[in-house]
């Protein structure tokens, strides 16, 4: 006896969607089909097309056989369409819904999963264990730490070394994953960044032909989309073993030009841990900032190249150790390990990602005690830098080199700035060639990437003397004037104590009226040159007219006091040579107002940052 619900049927036509040949019928006459079921397969232009039922129904007649040609719109088969309520399907005993069977594993997907698995660190446990025994992380571990969790998308993971003429495919897949370089795009603090890391566990992190291609691809994306770049540069330089490509020297690769082309366009961070030689070091040297670990060695040639040049036999650890490269200015930030290096890289990039709302203000009144009342007593101007910057935001750069001027990135009330400050602990704050080079390049860095500059001034001027001039002082210190003349960012100057001569002018963007403001603390003192020298030179006749000894010294002290009073901060403000004398506790307020008033001009071209 049939159920109460009776299926009711109406005729339905299935027509060809295109001109094609019948390949196979998947539903015979009398078969029940649901909407979406494949009824037959057509072939056109060597591609198979599925024809599906549009409604629930039952096939009644097939009008063509396999191999027949049909035209677009031609009737292929007839079916009866269910026209009553859906319960009627269950009423028709010949039509029972089948259980949904999960799709069986696809062979192509399984092949992909197997290949991807071979690129992961877990596929090479021995290499990973060796790496960790050295106290270092893998390329993928570093990138995972750099990028916000789960944000990294890898490009070129399936590449292998171009050595198929001398090694099996299985060997290459197992031992040269990603051709020794992990590349891709991830986010740092929510903003997109290109991340690249040479893999020292693959052919010593050398530069193969395919990882050059990967690098060029990522550098092109970085330039096109204005994405910052972070490069973990550890590795041994060019790789001579890639034999698949018909090249002789490989000097036509575009990687180095492409990397250098990013200069001044986007922030570029280089990180060195372990050995970084030759081509890897050349890329590192093109970076805006170099972060390196204590155990790193950086050199334009490794031991093999040095020995091959007849220059002696050396261990890798003897070439460009971190202590040397930090002291000579190659390394901007020296850290203990890759964990710290990655944290510094994230901190550095944050300064180029705009203002933040969450910050802690340092105690303003502490600035009043930074400069001693005794004008001859030295002090650490870094206390002033810390007192002006938001707590925890200060990032010193190149602090092992050019120590006559401190340079750092910082935030003031959440807003990123560059800070440069004379160092009274070195040469009394006098500016030598190294300090000038360091400060001028720092100006270029901030200018290229749109960071306002805050200058803390305490200098007796440029360093002078025969030994100093032998260092090409004239050219080096003049870089400060040239760099300042091309600034597109606000420049804010605060004189803490000494503001003498050309050195003080260089620290104030070329002159006291060049910055958006030049203010001084009450301890400020000014002159065309150091007051002591000015008295001895300017009043030589008067001094020589007095007997040498106590009387001459008394006259000297009197003239010096007069000069000091004349060059005091209050007198300078009276004559409008500076804009104001301020309470040190008001310094942050002045800087914030200056940042509000100052405008960052849009780029008017490419701003170059010297590699040095």
Predicted confidence (pLDDT) at residue 97 exceeds the cutoff of 80: no
Predicted confidence (pLDDT) at residue 159 exceeds the cutoff of 90: yes
Predicted confidence (pLDDT) at residue 92 exceeds the cutoff of 70: no
Of 79-93, 130-144, 212-226, 580-594, give the lowest mean pLDDT range: 79-93
The structure's pTM equals 0.86
pLDDT score at 82:
66
Predicted confidence (pLDDT) at residue 383 exceeds the cutoff of 70: yes
Q: For 502-512, what is the mean pLDDT?
A: 97
Q: For 497-504, what is the mean pLDDT?
A: 96
pLDDT score at 302:
87
User: What pLDDT digit, counting tens, does each position of 254-301 carry?
Assistant: 899 999 999 999 999 999 999 999 999 999 999 999 999 999 999 999
Q: What are phi and psi of 499, to 5 degrees?
A: -135, 80
pLDDT score at 132:
96
pLDDT score at 126:
94
Give the Cα separation of 573 and 582 in Å (integer). Answer: 10
Confidence of residue 90 (pLDDT cuts 50, 70, 90): very low
pLDDT score at 519:
98
How many Cα atoms within 13 Å fall on the side-chain side of residue 154? Answer: 17
User: What pLDDT digit, counting tens, does each position of 565-595 carry?
Assistant: 778 999 999 999 999 999 999 999 999 999 9
Mean per-residue pLDDT over the chain, rounded? 91
Contact 422, 405 (CB under 8 A): yes
Predicted confidence (pLDDT) at residue 414 exceeds the cutoff of 80: yes
Nearest residue to 259 (alpha-carbon basis) of 272, 274, 269, 246: 269
Give the Cα separation of 95 and 53 in Å (integer). Answer: 15
What count of other Cβ atoms lies within 10 Å of the Cβ of residue 387? 21
pLDDT score at 242:
81
Q: For 315-340, what is the mean pLDDT?
A: 96
User: What pLDDT digit, counting tens, does each position of 174-202 carry?
Assistant: 999 999 999 999 999 999 999 999 999 99
Nearest residue to 143 (alpha-carbon basis) of 113, 188, 201, 174: 188
Predicted confidence (pLDDT) at residue 439 exceeds the cutoff of 80: yes
**Greatest mean pLDDT among 156-160, 238-242, 605-609:** 156-160
Of 18-27, 100-109, 465-474, 477-486, give the lowest mean pLDDT range: 100-109
258's tokens: 């492409």
pLDDT score at 91:
44
Predicted confidence (pLDDT) at residue 99 exceeds the cutoff of 90: no
Confidence of residue 85 (pLDDT cuts 50, 70, 90): low
Of 6-15, 157-166, 501-510, give the lowest mean pLDDT range: 6-15
- Residues whose CB falls within 8 Å of the CB of residue 368, separated by 6 or more in sequence, listed in order: 583, 584, 585
Predicted confidence (pLDDT) at residue 89 exceeds the cutoff of 60: no
What count of other Cβ atoms lies within 10 Å of the Cβ of residue 163? 22
| Angle between the N-to-C axes of helices 550-566 and 531-538, in degrees from 0 to 180, rounded to the nearest 10 | 120
Q: For 492-496, what is the mean pLDDT?
A: 98
Q: For 444-452, what is the mean pLDDT?
A: 98
Of 46-60, 97-111, 213-227, 449-463, give the lowest mean pLDDT range: 97-111
pLDDT score at 546:
84
Q: Among all chains, which residue has been given the structure tokens 């007095």?
A: 546
Predicted confidence (pLDDT) at residue 93 exceeds the cutoff of 60: no
* Bigger pLDDT: 371 vs 253: 371
Predicted confidence (pLDDT) at residue 24 exceeds the cutoff of 90: yes
Predicted confidence (pLDDT) at residue 387 exceeds the cutoff of 90: yes
- Calculate the alpha carbon distances from 257 to 26, 181, 195, 254 in Å: 59, 19, 18, 5
Predicted confidence (pLDDT) at residue 100 exceeds the cutoff of 90: no
pLDDT score at 556:
82
């Amino acid at each position: 006896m049939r159920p109460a619900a009776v299926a009711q049927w109406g005729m339905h036509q299935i027509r060809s969607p295109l001109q094609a040949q019948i390949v196979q019928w998947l539903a015979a006459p009398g078969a029940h089909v649901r909407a979406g079921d494949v009824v037959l397969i057509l072939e056109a232009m060597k591609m198979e097309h599925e024809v599906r039922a549009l409604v629930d129904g039952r096939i009644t007649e097939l009008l063509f056989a396999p191999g027949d040609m049909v035209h677009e719109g031609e009737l292929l088969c007839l079916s009866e369409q269910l026209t009553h309520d859906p319960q009627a399907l269950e009423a028709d005993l010949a039509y029972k819904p089948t259980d949904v069977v999960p799709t069986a594993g696809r062979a192509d997907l399984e092949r992909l999963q197997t290949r991807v698995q071979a690129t992961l660190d877990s596929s090479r446990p021995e290499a990973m264990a060796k790496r960790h025994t050295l106290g270092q992380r893998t390329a993928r571990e570093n990138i995972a730490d750099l990028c916000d969790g789960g944000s990294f998308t890898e490009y070129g993971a399936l590449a292998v070394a171009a050595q198929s003429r001398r090694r099996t495919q299985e060997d290459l897949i197992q031992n040269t994953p990603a051709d020794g370089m992990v590349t891709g795009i991830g986010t740092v603090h929510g903003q997109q960044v290109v991340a690249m890391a040479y893999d020292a566990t693959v052919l010593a992190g050398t530069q193969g032909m395919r990882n050059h291609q990967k690098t060029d691809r990522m550098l092109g994306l970085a330039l096109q989309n204005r994405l910052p770049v972070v490069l973990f540069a550890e590795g041994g330089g060019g790789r001579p073993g890639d034999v698949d490509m018909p090249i002789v020297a490989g000097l036509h690769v575009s990687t180095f030009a492409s990397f250098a082309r990013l200069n001044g366009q986007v922030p570029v961070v280089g990180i060195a841990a372990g050995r970084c030689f030759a081509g890897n070091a050349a890329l590192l040297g093109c970076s805006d900032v170099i972060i390196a670990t204590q155990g790193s060695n950086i050199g334009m040639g490794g031991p093999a190249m040095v020995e091959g040049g007849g220059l002696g036999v050396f261990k890798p650890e003897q070439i460009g150790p971190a202590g040397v490269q930090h002291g000579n200015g190659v390394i901007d930030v020296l850290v203990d390990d890759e964990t710290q290096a990655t944290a510094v890289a994230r901190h550095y990039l944050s300064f180029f990602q705009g203002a933040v709302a969450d910050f802690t203000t340092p105690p303003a009144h502490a600035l009043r005690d930074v400069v001693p009342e005794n004008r001859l007593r030295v002090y650490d101007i870094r206390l002033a830098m810390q007192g002006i910057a938001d707590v925890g935001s200060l990032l010193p750069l190149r602090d092992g080199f050019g120590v006559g001027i401190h340079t750092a990135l910082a935030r003031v009330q959440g807003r990123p700035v560059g800070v440069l400050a004379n160092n009274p602990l070195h040469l009394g704050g006098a500016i030598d060639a190294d300090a000038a080079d360091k400060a001028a390049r720092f100006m270029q860095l901030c200018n290229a990437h749109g960071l306002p500059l805050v200058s803390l001034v305490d200098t007796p001027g440029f360093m002078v003397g025969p030994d100093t001039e032998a260092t090409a002082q004239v050219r080096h210190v003049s870089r400060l004037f040239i760099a300042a003349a091309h600034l597109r960012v606000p420049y804010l100057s605060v004189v803490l104590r000494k503001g003498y001569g050309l050195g003080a002018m260089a620290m104030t963007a070329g002159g006291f009226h060049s910055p958006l403001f030049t203010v001084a603390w009450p301890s400020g003192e000014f002159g065309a040159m150091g007051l002591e020298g000015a008295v001895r030179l300017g009043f030589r006749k008067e001094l020589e007219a007095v007997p040498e000894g106590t009387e001459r010294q008394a006259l000297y002290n009197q003239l010096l006091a007069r000069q000091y009073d004349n060059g005091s901060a209050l007198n300078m403000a009276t004559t409008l040579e500076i804009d104001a004398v301020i309470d040190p506790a008001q310094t942050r307020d002045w800087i914030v107002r200056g940042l509000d008033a100052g405008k960052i001009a849009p780029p008017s071209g490419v701003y170059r940052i010297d590699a040095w």
